[in-house]
Amino acid sequence: MGREARRAQERADRRQKQREAAPGRAVSAPTFTAPALPREERSGGSPLKPRWATDIISELRKVTWPTRQETINLTGVVISVSLALGVLLGGADLFFGWLIQQTLLR
């Protein structure tokens, strides 16, 4: 939790305590604060599990992974396109090699 969020949380806690201490006062509009983070996310991390590693793990949990069938289909597309481009570039190479042989090296 950043410094600003922590300060906002502390201000909200102080306001809440003041409201509880003075029940005769009018109730104001509710304030919205950031949810409190678990202790492990508040700290800078431990030597065995640094903060950046925790961040990576939390981001990977948010990823929507493809199904097995989607992975198979997309792998087939990549292989097909790679083969097609390989054949196309190989053919262009053979053609230009033949063209150079016939025109410049004769």
Claim to verify: residue 76 and residue 24 sit in the same structural domain: no
| Tens of pLDDT, residues 69-105 | 999 999 999 999 999 999 999 999 999 999 999 998 8
Q: What pTM value is reported for the model? A: 0.45
* Phi-psi region at 30: left, alpha or beta (left = phi > 0; alpha = psi -120 to 50): beta
Q: What CA–CA distance (Å, rounded) separates 100 from 42?
A: 67
Claim to verify: residue 8 and residue 20 sit in the same structural domain: yes
| Tens of pLDDT, residues 15-29 | 888 888 876 655 556
What's the domain range around 34?
1-63
Burial 52-75 (b: 16+ CB within 10 A, else e): eebeeeeeeeeeeeeeeeeeeeee
